Structure 1
């Protein structure tokens, strides 16, 4: 019984290594350029063993997207310990700036996959990639809502669109400083909300 439990634990660990490697290699190389052998090599797993866990490359892509979603949930869970919603949002932006070198080389991990997968005739995986971005939008909207700001969904869209835009430009120009400059602009924008032309929800203005 112990041996059986050990085998299950080893199989689970090997599958997790493959999933984590898939998330990393697909980000670095893209879906079309990546082979199962590439992922097996990155995970330190014999290539023939990959098919025991994942029958096709699409299965591995799906697992990689789930990994991105799990990392996002873990990260936003840690951000919830921050003092307040504005601090959480600013910590999110600061984390994007901290990833500037990786993003300048490879782009946004989820955004680049969503863009590539969305061009397929079968857009199912592209939809799954979009769902990960939707989770980020929903989380950000929750923070803006907690701040009491009007239009929290629109504000979340502005924030995440800003991230995707600066990621794209940093990658296209191979210039990490794009992330630094645009990230600083987003931080200033977050500080201004509710104080400069963005009234807190529920505040009233006397009509002229």
Structure 2
């Protein structure tokens, strides 16, 4: 019994390593240039074992999307520790700024995947990456709604669009300062938002 439990745990750990490796390598190299061998190497798993867990590259892309989704869940759970919704949103932006070097080298992990998958003709994985982006938009809209601001969905779209735009430009220009400058601008914009008739 103990041996079968250990084997299951080892298999689960191996799958998690492969999933995390897929998220990293796909961000670094893109879907088309990534091979299963690249992911096996990053995960330190024999390449033959990859096929046991993931039969196709698309299954690995789905696993990477699941990793992005789990990371978003962890991030928003951490941000919920702030009592004030505005502080949560500011902490989110500050986190984006802190990732400026990665953004300059590779762009936003989810955003770059969305762009790449949109070029494919089967139309399945691009919808799945869109669902991850939608979760961030919904979370941000909830924060603006909690602040009592009008059009929370529109404000969330402005915020996330700002992030995607600055990530894209930082990557295109290979300039992490784009993230700093535009992130600071987003922070100022956030501070300027007031509930109508708010005396402050």
Give the corresponding residue for 2:56: 56
Write out per-residue CA displacement over residues 51-72 of structure 1, whole angstroms, 9 at most, x where no aligned residue: 0000000000000001000100
**Counterpart in 2 of 1:180?**
180
Aligned positions of 1:48-197 closer than 5 A: 48-194=48-194
- CA offset digits 1:135-169 (Å, max 9, x no partner): 00000000000000000000000000000000000
Divergent runs of 4+, >4 A: none
Partner SS, residue 52 of structure 2: helix
Query: Displacement of 1:176 after TM fit?
Result: 0.1
Q: What secondary structure is seen at the aligned counterpart in 2 of 1:145?
A: helix
Structure 2 Cα separation of the partners of residues 114 and 122 of structure 1:
14
> What CA deviation, in whole Å up to 9, does each residue of 1:89-133 have, x standing for no partner?
000000000000001000000000000001110111011111100
Matching residue of 1:44: 44
* Structure 1, gaps ≥5 residues long: none
Scaled by the length of structure 1, the TM-score of the pair is 0.94
Once residues 122 and 174 of structure 1 are traced to their aligned partners in structure 2, the CA distance between those partners, rounded to angstroms, is 32
Structure whose CA Rg is larger: 1
- Cα deviation per residue 1:155-204 (whole Å; 9 max; x = unaligned)? 0000000000000000000000000000000000000000xxxx34xx59
Provide the rounded CA distance (Å) in 2 between the counterparts of 1:58 and 1:177: 34
Paired residues, what number? 198
**TM-score normalised over the length of structure 2:** 0.98
Q: In structure 1, the residue corresponding to 2:131 is in which secondary structure?
A: helix
What is the alpha-carbon distance in structure 1 between the residues aligned to residue 55 and residue 121 of structure 2? 21
SS at match of 1:129: helix
Cα distance in 2 for residues equivalent to 1:9 and 1:20: 16
